[in-house]
Amino acid sequence: MVAALLRALGQGLWMLLPVLSFTILAWVPAAQAWWRGRSAGWLTTAVGLLLASVGVLYGMGSDRDGAGWGLLLIGNGIGGVAAAVMARPVVFNKRDDTDPAIRGVLRDRERRTRAREIAESDPSMALELNIGRPDVPGAYADGGLIDLNNASAAGIVRVLGWTTTTAERFVTERDTRRGYASLTEIVALSGFDPRTFDGHADRIVVLPYRPR
């Protein structure tokens, strides 16, 4: 709690930096946002605020009483604070540098875990959601599971990489038996080499068989 309050206080003071520095440092938040995101927009904002800050410094040192640099001071302060408010999430939020491919794998693992929990706790719901049915449009996003009791041969080929001939033979045998009770039973009774299923246990579910 204390750490969160201190962090919020620090970020609040950071956003007020343009005002606290009499706009001399109004460009700093935008420059930090550019450094994090390397965005052309932030670069343009930082340069604009920097030039305005230089103008404010010149006005302060020129001993002029004109309203021009005073208006510049006010405008630079407002612009600097506005930029700081928008830059705060860019500068302070943790950046995810994970490779997109790795993020995709981790996301699919989480989806498979959730889908498998549904399949184990509520098979009827899993059937309604079409978990493990990549061959059904609009099926639940299960991260790449395959229901060996109900999926089509095309779905099995897609997920497990079997040949079309192997998948069609499996589906014919499965439908003749009206499904299996578990993966263990599939391995024992299907007549397929157990190595056919090796490495795929995390993608296979066996829901109650539904005649097509």
pLDDT digits (tens, 9 = 90+) for 161-205: 999 999 999 999 999 999 999 999 999 988 888 888 888 889 999
What is the pTM for the complete model shown? Answer: 0.58
pLDDT at 6: 80
Name the maximum alpha-carbon separation found in the chain: 97
Whether the predicted pLDDT of 68 surpasses 90: no
pLDDT, the chain, mean: 87
CA distance linking residue 144 with residue 99, whole number of Å: 20
130, two tokens:
């079409």
User: Which residues sit opposite 146 in a β-bridge?
Assistant: 204
Q: 33-57: per-residue pLDDT in tens?
A: 888 888 888 889 888 888 888 888 8
Confidence at residue 60, expressed as pLDDT on a 0 to 100 scale: 76
Q: Which tens digit of pLDDT belongs to each residue from 125-175?
A: 999 999 999 999 988 999 999 999 999 999 999 999 999 999 999 999 999
What is the secondary structure of 174-188 as a DSSP string?
HHHHT--S-HHHHHH
- Evaluate if residue 91 carries a pLDDT over 90: no
The CA distance from 145 to 210, in Å, is 17
